[in-house]
Amino acid sequence: MRAWAVERTGPIATRPVVEVERAVPTPLPGEVLVRVEACGVCRTDLHLAEGDLVPRRPGVVPGHQVVGRVEVVGDDPAPRFAVGDRVGIAWLRGTCGSCRWCRSGRENLCPASTYTGWDADGGFAELAVVPAAYAYRMPAGLSPADAAPLLCAGIIGYRALHRANLPPGGRLGLYGFGSSAHVTAQIALAQGAELYVMTRGEAARALARELGAAWVGDASDRSPVPLDSAIVFAPAGPLVPVALEALDRGGTLALAGIHMSDVPTLDYQRHLFLERDLRTVTSNTRRDGEELLALADRLGVRAHVRTYGFDEVDRALSDLATGDVSGSAVVTLPG
Ligand SMILES: [Zn+2]
Ligand SMILES: [Zn+2]
- Residue 289 domain-assigned (yes or no): no
Whether residue 319 is found in the same domain as residue 219: no
User: What is the 245 CA–ligand 2 centroid distance (Å)?
Assistant: 28
User: What is the 268 CA–ligand 2 centroid distance (Å)?
Assistant: 32
Domain around 47? 2-138+304-332
User: What is the 224 CA–ligand 2 centroid distance (Å)?
Assistant: 31
- Residue 63 domain-assigned (yes or no): yes
Whether residue 100 is found in the same domain as residue 220: no
Pick the ligand that lies closest to the CA of residue 114.
Answer: 1
Task: Report the 3 state secondary structure along the chain.
Answer: CEEEEECCCCCHHHCCEEEEECCCCCCCCCEEEEEEEEEEECHHHHHHHHCCCCCCCCCCCCCCCEEEEEEEECCCCCCCCCCCCEEEECCEEECCCCCHHHHCCCHHHCCCCEEECCCECCCCECEEEEEHHHEEECCCCCCHHHHHHHHCHHHHHHHHHHHCCCCCCCEEEEECCCHHHHHHHHHHHHCCCEEEEECCCHHHHHHHHHHCCCEEECCCCCCCCCEEEEEECCCCCCHHHHHHHHEEEEEEEEECCCCCCCCCCCCHHHHHCCCCEEEECCCCCHHHHHHHHHHHHHHCCCCCEEEECHHHHHHHHHHHHCCCCCCEEEEECCC
User: What is the 108 CA–ligand 1 centroid distance (Å)?
Assistant: 8
Whether residue 97 is found in the same domain as residue 122: yes
User: What is the 5 CA–ligand 1 centroid distance (Å)?
Assistant: 29
Query: Per the structure, how many domains does the chain have?
Result: 2
User: What is the 249 CA–ligand 2 centroid distance (Å)?
Assistant: 32
User: What is the 103 CA–ligand 1 centroid distance (Å)?
Assistant: 7
CATH number at residue 159: 3.40.50.720
- Residue 54 domain-assigned (yes or no): yes
Whether residue 12 is found in the same domain as residue 98: yes
User: What is the 98 CA–ligand 1 centroid distance (Å)?
Assistant: 5
- Residue 213 domain-assigned (yes or no): yes
CATH number at residue 121: 3.90.180.10
User: What is the 273 CA–ligand 2 centroid distance (Å)?
Assistant: 32
Per-residue pLDDT, 325? 86
Pick the ligand that lies closest to the CA of residue 63.
Answer: 2
Pick the ligand that lies closest to the CA of residue 113.
Answer: 1
Whether residue 161 is found in the same domain as residue 94: no
- Residue 148 domain-assigned (yes or no): no
- Name residue 196's amino acid: Y
Per-residue pLDDT, 335? 72
pLDDT in tens, the chain (335 residues): 999 999 999 999 999 999 999 999 999 999 999 999 999 999 999 999 999 998 899 999 999 999 999 999 999 999 999 999 999 999 999 999 999 999 999 999 999 999 999 999 999 999 999 999 999 999 888 999 999 999 999 999 999 999 999 999 999 999 999 999 999 999 999 999 999 999 999 999 999 999 999 999 999 999 999 999 999 999 999 999 999 999 999 999 999 988 899 999 999 999 999 999 999 999 999 999 999 999 999 999 999 999 999 999 999 999 999 988 889 999 999 87
User: What is the 227 CA–ligand 2 centroid distance (Å)?
Assistant: 26
User: What is the 119 CA–ligand 2 centroid distance (Å)?
Assistant: 14
Whether residue 198 is found in the same domain as residue 164: yes
Q: For residue 38, how many C-alpha atoms fall within 13 Å in the half-sphere facing its CB?
A: 24
User: What is the 107 CA–ligand 1 centroid distance (Å)?
Assistant: 6
- Residue 296 domain-assigned (yes or no): no
- Residue 53 domain-assigned (yes or no): yes
User: Which chain residues have CB less than 5 Å from ligand 2, an ion?
Assistant: 42, 44, 152
Per-residue pLDDT, 55? 85
Whether residue 27 is found in the same domain as residue 122: yes
Pick the ligand that lies closest to the CA of residue 103.
Answer: 1
